[in-house]
Amino acid sequence: MVSTRKNYWITGFVLCLLLIGLIDYKLWQLRLPIDWFVAVNFASFAYIVSMIGLSYANPTYGATKRELAKFKVAVVVPVYNEDHVTFRAMLDSLDAQTRQPDIVYVIDDGSKTLECRDAFRAWRTQSDITRCVFIRQQNAGKRSAQAQAFRRTPDASIYVTVDSDTVLDERAIEEGLKPFARREVMAVAGLLLGLNDRKNLLTRLVDLGFVTSFLNGRAAYSAMHSVAVCCGGLAFYRGDVIRKYLDEYLNHTVLGVRTTYGDDRLLTNFALLEGWTVLSEASVGYTLLPENIKHLTKQRVRWWRSFFWGSDFLLRRFSMRRLIWWLVAWQMISFCLYTVIVPIALVYLPIRHHEWPVVYVLYMIALAYARDARYMSIKRPDQSYWQQLLTYLMAPLSMVLHVYLCTVLSYWGLASFWKMDWNTRSKVEVGIEA
């Protein structure tokens, strides 16, 4: 069972103080004039510190067993060319829940083999869950697969979307339901950790950045009731929201082309139209991470494409009186700024000083450790403290990877945001050992 380490915030606070000191020293050492570059640098630093600070303010939601019992919970699992061992582990984790779902729908979207179907049938004979349904359809996309379940469960009060490669912590559903005791809450994001994080160096670095994106960015936005994306690996939505926007969800287009990915972003946008979206840090799932750079690149380019059309959707549909409008607008402004800042940092400064200024490198290292400090707050049953610390110590390497994933690939995503091909899942690409 996943838990939280106490007093971990002290580490982040101390590192932020160290970071402030390094910035002051950096400006003195480089003799930089107070111009636009320095101003943008400080604005960026202020934003990072504010996000880290807000992430600690993300509340813990509570609910009584009676309140949880009122919900009729439907788990929806689309499957396409999945590793059957991981898929069976996901099914077993549903049985192990402290609050089991009322209905489980698994929809195979035309996989090339029947291994997952056979795994489901074997699991079904042993499961304690009352109603479990397996549907196999011709390949029509993830949204079409989910709609099969949405349409068959008109009385579901909460939908839980779970990816077929995500294994749930035993309290995942219970903790994900608790925020819905507040009527304003329309969607809840779960916290995803790497299931195969120790496979190789790349998976360790991806896990560090991936988990941090939840514990910093989403946690900060959650403190403002405005999570922009509830990742499809583990997300909760009010049934009324799903049913209200189902037709638009299935027929959404970008430049006249029907969208086939970004389902989690679009569903979250619909939930935001109706109320709050929050992160439950105690609702945890373990998901498979890409194990090679090619797979990772294809995945993140797809994410960047949905970021651009999803942000455009939100800015057009939402009022400027909503906080989420300004948060997304700032994300777009930040992207524009970094298209200029990153080349300057990587090219201009080394040319001007004939080498990378040592203090600038120290600044980036301190920034990496400050940003990733909350990674150590999660106490995982599948890792020792020292194994987790080893991953955390790789924060500077993770930041280098972050530059590639969140800067270089963002240009690629913007240049091709109208393309709707997945580029992945044509075969089983990653799995776990039996």
212 within 8 A of 374, measured Cβ to Cβ: yes
Question: Which residues are CB-contacts of 158 (< 8 A; sequence separation ≥ 6)?
Answer: 71, 72, 73, 74, 177, 180, 236, 237, 238, 239
More confident residue, 135 or 373: 135
The predicted pLDDT at position 206 comes to 93
Tokens for 350? Answer: 């080394």
More confident residue, 167 or 25: 167
The predicted pLDDT at position 39 comes to 62
Residues 240-263: what's their mean pLDDT? 89
pLDDT class of 430 with cuts at 50, 70, 90: low
What is the pTM assigned to this prediction?
0.89
91 within 8 A of 121, measured Cβ to Cβ: no
CA distance 401 to 259: 28
Question: Which residues are CB-contacts of 405 (< 8 A; sequence separation ≥ 6)?
Answer: 209, 296, 300
CA distance 159 to 142: 15
pLDDT class of 51 with cuts at 50, 70, 90: confident
The predicted pLDDT at position 310 comes to 87
CA distance 10 to 7: 6
CA distance 137 to 375: 40
More confident residue, 22 or 185: 185
DSSP-assigned letters across all residues of 382-428: TS-HHHHHHHHTTHHHHHHHHHIIIIIHHHHHHHTTT-----S-SS-
Q: Using the 8-state DSSP alphabet, how is residue 305 labeled? A: H
pLDDT digits (tens, 9 = 90+) for 358-389: 666 777 787 788 888 888 888 888 888 888 88
pLDDT digits (tens, 9 = 90+) for 61-83: 988 888 888 999 999 999 998 88
For the chain, give the mean pLDDT. Answer: 84
Residues 81-97: what's their mean pLDDT? 93
Is 180 exposed, middle or buried, given 0-12, 13-18 or 19+ CB atoms closer than 10 A?
Answer: buried
Tokens for 111? Answer: 């996989």
235 within 8 A of 190, measured Cβ to Cβ: yes
Collapsing DSSP to helix, strand or coil, 25 comes out as helix
Buried b (16+ CB within 10 A) or exposed e, 294-313: ebbbbbbbbbbbbbbbbbeb
pLDDT class of 355 with cuts at 50, 70, 90: low
CA distance 434 to 431: 9
With a cut of 50, say whether residue 434 has pLDDT above it.
no
- If you count them, how many residues does the chain have? 434
The predicted pLDDT at position 421 comes to 63
Of 196, 222, 224, which is closest to residue 210 (Cα–Cα)?
Answer: 196
With a cut of 60, say whether residue 323 has pLDDT above it.
yes
List the domain boundaries for the chain. Answer: 6-72+157-421
pLDDT class of 207 with cuts at 50, 70, 90: very high
